[in-house]
Chain A
C-alpha cells in the first residue's frame, strides 16, 4: 500500500478537516481570541491530524501488504484467508470474515461437484466392466457358431471394445485419484499383448510389426501402457499410405537415467503445422479430416495417462514418410536397490 494512494483515498476526510479548521479559525477570529492561542490550537489540530492518519495508515499497510505478499506467493490463492491473522481494525475484520465465509461456501460448492464427478466416474468404471460381459459373450458366440459372419462380428466387437476402453481410460486420466500401480513391467510381454489384440486389423492391411531390444523392463502400470500402445497402433494402422507396405517398428533403448520406447510407423505422417497440437483435446488436424473420421481424443488420453504415470511422450514426423512416438520412462534407483 502506497502512502500517496492512501492519502488520495482519504481526500474527503482532509476536505472535512480543512473545512472545520476554516470554520474554527473564523470563530476564533470572531471571538477575538489572541493570535498565540489560535496558533497553539492549529498546531494541536495539525498534530492530531498527522498522528491519526499515520496510525491508521500503518495499521492498514501492515495488513494489506502482508495479504498482497502472501497472495503473490500462493499457488492456490483461494487459501489466502488461512494465511492471514485477523486484523485489528473494523473494515479489515469485516473483509476477513467475508473472505472466510466466501471460502467456506466455495469449498462446499467444489465438494459437491467433486462428488458428482466421482459418482459419474465410478458409474462409468462399473458400466464399462458390465458392458464387457455381453461383448465377451458375443465374442464367444461368434466363435462357437463361426461361419462367414463370425469374423465380421468379431471385427465389430473389437471396435466396441476399443471404444469402451477409451471411455474407461479417459475417466481414469481425468481423475485425481490414484488407481494405478507402478511396478516393473517387461516391455516384451506388453508389446506382445498389444500386437495380439490388434492382430486382425494389422493383417487386414498387411502390416509388418518389427521389434527390437524389448528385453527391458520399465517402471509403469502395465495395463495403462497396453492401452497407450494400443492407441498408437490403432493410429498407425489407420493412417497408412496406399501402395506402401505398412511397417510398425517398436524398439527400446536404455539410457543411463531412463528407458526410451520408440514407436515408429511409415504411414502418412503428420503435417508440421499440426505436430505441436496433436496431443490437444479434440484436435483432429488435417489427417483427422481427410482420412477416417477421428475424435481427437486418443492421443489426448495417451498424454494425460503419461503425465499421471510420470512418463513423457514426444512425437516427431515427416509428412508422407513416418511418425515416431517416443515414451520416456524414468529409472528408479530406489526400486533397483530393493
Chain B
C-alpha cells in the first residue's frame, strides 16, 4: 500500500483529502506541525507527497526545494493559485505534477497513480488471470495467443485493473479516457466496454467485467 503524505493547512480539505485517499486504497498521513515542516515531511518516508503552496512558514515551493536536497520522493503540487509562474517555478524545483484547486477528485487520483507508476520505474509486466498485460504494445497475451487492444480499450482495462475487485463508475472511466485526450461520449464508452469484454472472453476470461446496475463495473 502506497503511503501518501498530505501537506495542506486547510483543515477541511486535509481531512476530506485523507478520506478520499483512504477510500481509494492509499495510506494517508498529514502534516500537522508546520513549524518543522521540512523535518516532518522527511521523517514520514512517504511514497508520494501532495503539497499545497500557501502554507505557513516555509511556503510549498521553498519546502519542495529543501526536500529535493535530501530525497527524490515524488511530489505533486496542489494549489489554488493559478499563476503560470507558480507552475514553472514548482516544476523547476523538481515537482512531478501540478494541479490547481478546485480539482476533480478522480483526476487527482489518476495523476497520483500515474506519478507513482512512473516513480516505481520497474516496468513490471502486470498479469491478469494468467494474461500478460503489455502496455508498450497495447496487448494481452496468454502465452500463445495475443490480442491487441485499441488505445481506448487499453485505458479502460488499465484503469479497472488498478482497481481490481472494486466498483469503477462510468464517470471515472470517462475521466480516465478524457485525461488521455480521448474525448469519447457515453455511447462510445459502452461500445468500448463491450468490445473489451468480448476480447477478454476470446482469451478465456468470460464474465471478467461485471456490470453493477446504476453503479458501474467490476473487474473480477
Contacts and interface: CB of A to CB of B under 8 A. Distances in A.
Interface of A: 129-130, 132-141, 143-144, 151, 157, 161, 165, 168, 179-181, 183, 188, 192, 195-197, 199, 202-203, 206-211, 221-224
A48 B220 CA distance: 116
Interface string B23-39: 10000000000000000
Nearest to A221: B84
Contacts of B104: 139, 196-197
A170 to B, nearest CB: 14
A181 B186 contact: no
B84 A180 contact: yes
Contacts, number: 93
B208 interface: no
A140 B20 contact: yes
Interface stretch (B57-65, B141-149, B175-183, B199-207): B175-183
Contact of A132 (B84, B85, B101): B101
12 contacts: A129-B81, A136-B102, A137-B12, A139-B102, A140-B20, A144-B23, A188-B181, A196-B104, A203-B174, A206-B185, A207-B185, A210-B183
B107 interface: yes
A135 B102 contact: yes
Given A137-B12, A137-B16, A183-B88, A143 B105 contact: yes
Secondary structure of the A contact surface, majority rule = helix
B19 interface: yes
The B interface, classified by DSSP as helix, strand, loop or mixed, is helix
Given A144-B20, A181-B88, A202-B183, 8 more contacts: A132-B102, A138-B102, A143-B105, A179-B85, A192-B178, A195-B178, A196-B104, A203-B185
Nearest to A248: B183
A192 B84 contact: no
Contact of B80 (A129, A180, A206): A129
Contact of A211 (B87, B105, B107, B183): B183
Given A136-B101, A136-B103, A209-B183, A199 B175 contact: yes
Nearest to B103: A136
Nearest to B52: A133
B17 to A, nearest CB: 6
A223 B174 CA distance: 24
Count chain B CB atoms within 10 A of each CB in A137, A168, A179 and give the residue with the most: A137
A192 B182 CA distance: 9
Contacts of A141: 16
A179 B85 CA distance: 8
Given A168-B82, A224-B84, A137 B179 contact: no
A223 B16 CA distance: 27
B183 A208 contact: yes
B181 A208 contact: no
Contacts of A161: 102
A197 B107 CA distance: 10
Contacts of B178: 192, 195-196, 199
Given A133-B10, A179-B83, A199-B178, A140 B185 contact: no
A134 B178 CA distance: 26
A144 B183 CA distance: 25
B174 A199 contact: yes
Nearest to B170: A203
B113 interface: no
B102 A157 contact: yes
Contact of B84 (A130, A181, A203): A181
